[in-house]
Amino acid sequence: MTSTPRFGFALEYVSDIEATKQFYVDVLGMRVEREHPVFVQFTDQGGASYAIASDEAMSTDAELELYWLVDDAEATFKDVSGKADIAMPVTQKPFGKVFAVKDPAGQVRYLIELAQNRPSQRVS
């Protein structure tokens, strides 16, 4: 494999992004790292990332999505294609190239090469 996937973040779909953002900031003490009208990414004091979104989910049921970061989605896709069931081929999205595999329990897991110019903006 060209690079080992590393855990990136969990993404939860919510109906009220502003109220949910305030909850994670005010109640759980998370810091907003990146923001867009339909997406907010947080980090905690330990550096863990969590994100919320109010746009369209990758799957039809809007379950919690887990993402692993890769340097090259196309190369990683080729590497894992014979090792795991592919749930979604490499797809270009505004935020990067993403594909999905199924774990042994049938849960979909996403691998993503983040775009250089993501729609969300870094918050200082």
pLDDT tens-digit map of 18-69 = 999 999 999 888 999 999 999 999 998 888 899 999 988 887 777 889 999 9
Q: What dotted CATH number matches 6-122?
A: 3.10.180.10
The pLDDT value recorded for residue 2 is 56
What radius of gyration do the chain's Cα atoms show? 15
The pLDDT value recorded for residue 98 is 96
The pLDDT value recorded for residue 120 is 87
The pLDDT value recorded for residue 68 is 93
Q: What span, in angstroms and rounded, lies between the C-alpha atoms of 59 and 37? A: 20
Nearest residue to 3 via CA among 112, 115, 120, 116: 112
The pLDDT value recorded for residue 61 is 78
**H helix intervals, the chain:** 17-26, 73-80
Of the pLDDT bands very low, low, confident and very high (cuts 50, 70, 90), residue 4 is: confident
Largest CA distance in the chain: 45
- Predicted confidence (pLDDT) per residue in 56-107, tens digit: 888 777 788 999 999 999 999 999 998 999 999 999 999 999 999 999 888 8
What SS3 class is residue 24?
helix
Domain residue ranges of the chain, discontinuous segments joined by +: 6-122
Nearest residue to 40 via CA among 118, 93, 115: 118
In one-letter notation, the amino acid at residue 65 is E
The pLDDT value recorded for residue 25 is 93
Nearest residue to 35 via CA among 22, 52, 56, 49: 52
Phi, psi of 28 (to 5 degrees): -95, -5
What SS3 class is residue 40?
strand
The pLDDT value recorded for residue 77 is 94
The pLDDT value recorded for residue 20 is 93
Two structure tokens written together for 122: 């870094």
Q: Which residues pair with 10 in a beta bridge?
A: 50, 66
